[in-house]
Amino acid sequence: MEKLNPFEIAQRQLDKCAKTLKLDPGVHAILRVPTRELHVSLPVHMDDGTTRVFQGFRIQYNDARGPTKGGIRFHPEETVDTVRALSAWMTWKCSLLDLPLGGAKGGIICNPREMSENELQRLSRAYINQVWQFIGPGKDIPAPDVYTTSQTMAWMMDEYSKIAGQTQFGVITGKPLNMGGSAGRGDATARGGLYTIREAAREHGIDLKEATVAIQGYGNAGYHAARLCRSLFNSRVVAVSDSKGGIFNGEGLDPEAIREHKTETGSVINMPNTKSVSNEEILELDVDVLIPAAMENVITEKNAPGVRARIVAELANGPSTPEADDILHKNHVHVIPDFLCNAGGVTVSYFEMVQNFYMYYWDEKEIHERLDKKMTDAFHSVLNTSKKHDINMREAAYVVAVKRVVDAMKLRGWI
Catalytic residues: 105
When binding is defined by CB under 6 A, the residue of 346, 383, 399, 402 that contacts ligand GLU is 346
Q: Is 317 in the site for ligand GLU (CB under 6 A)?
A: yes
Q: Is 338 in the site for ligand GLU (CB under 6 A)?
A: no
Nearer to ligand GLU, 299 or 315 (CB): 315
Minimal CB distance to ligand GLU: which residue? Answer: 71
By CB under 6 A, which span of 58-66, 69-77, 249-257, 295-303 interacts with ligand GLU? 69-77
Q: How many helices (H) and strands (E) does the chain have?
A: 14, 12
Greatest alpha-carbon pair distance for the chain in Å reads 62
Q: Can you tell me the distance from the alpha carbon of 124 to that of 126, in angstroms, rounded to the nearest whole number?
A: 5
Measuring CA to CA, which residue among 44, 173, 185, 186 is closest to residue 121?
44
Q: How far is the CB of 293 from ligand GLU (least distance, A)?
A: 12
DSSP 304-315: GGG---SEEE--
When binding is defined by CB under 6 A, the residue of 28, 58, 69, 368 that contacts ligand GLU is 69
Q: How far is the CB of 297 from ligand GLU (least distance, A)?
A: 16
Q: Is 62 in the site for ligand GLU (CB under 6 A)?
A: no
Residue 206 near residue 310 (C-beta atoms within 8 A): yes
Strand partners, 36: 60
By CB under 6 A, which span of 68-76, 195-203, 373-381, 407-415 interacts with ligand GLU? 68-76
Q: Can you tell me the distance from the alpha carbon of 299 to that of 288, in angstroms, rounded to the nearest whole number?
A: 16
Q: Is 71 in the site for ligand GLU (CB under 6 A)?
A: yes
Q: Can you tell me the distance from the alpha carbon of 228 to that of 72, in angstroms, rounded to the nearest whole number?
A: 25
Q: Is 60 in the site for ligand GLU (CB under 6 A)?
A: no
Which residues from 87-146 bind ligand GLU, rule CB under 6 A? 93, 143, 145
Q: Is 349 in the site for ligand GLU (CB under 6 A)?
A: yes
Q: Can you tell me the distance from the alpha carbon of 297 to that of 123, in angstroms, rounded to the nearest whole number?
A: 28
Q: Can you tell me the distance from the alpha carbon of 6 to that of 175, in angstroms, rounded to the nearest whole number?
A: 28
Burial 336-363 (b: 16+ CB within 10 A, else e): bbbbbbbbbbbbbbbbbbebbeeeebbe
Q: Can you tell me the distance from the alpha carbon of 312 to that of 319, in angstroms, rounded to the nearest whole number?
A: 10
Residue 308 near residue 284 (C-beta atoms within 8 A): yes
Q: Is 63 in the site for ligand GLU (CB under 6 A)?
A: no
Residue 184 near residue 348 (C-beta atoms within 8 A): yes
Q: How far is the CB of 405 from ligand GLU (least distance, A)?
A: 17
Nearer to ligand GLU, 143 or 399 (CB): 143
Count residues binding ligand GLU (CB under 6 A).
Answer: 13
By CB under 6 A, which span of 63-71, 121-129, 241-249, 301-309 interacts with ligand GLU? 63-71
By CB under 6 A, which span of 109-117, 175-183, 274-282, 343-351 interacts with ligand GLU? 343-351
Those residues with Cβ within 8 angstroms of residue 409's Cβ, 6 or more apart along the chain or in another chain: 27, 30, 64, 415
Which residues from 234-253 bind ligand GLU, rule CB under 6 A? none
Nearer to ligand GLU, 212 or 349 (CB): 349
By CB under 6 A, which span of 4-12, 230-238, 342-350, 366-374 interacts with ligand GLU? 342-350
When binding is defined by CB under 6 A, the residue of 173, 212, 385, 386 that contacts ligand GLU is 173
Q: How far is the CB of 142 from ligand GLU (least distance, A)?
A: 7
Q: Can you tell me the distance from the alpha carbon of 193 to that of 216, in angstroms, rounded to the nearest whole number?
A: 14
Q: Can you tell me the distance from the alpha carbon of 282 to that of 213, in angstroms, rounded to the nearest whole number?
A: 10
Nearer to ligand GLU, 119 or 352 (CB): 352
Q: Is 345 in the site for ligand GLU (CB under 6 A)?
A: yes
Please give the residue ranges that form the binding site for ligand GLU (CB under 6 A).
69-71, 93, 143, 145, 173-174, 317, 342, 345-346, 349
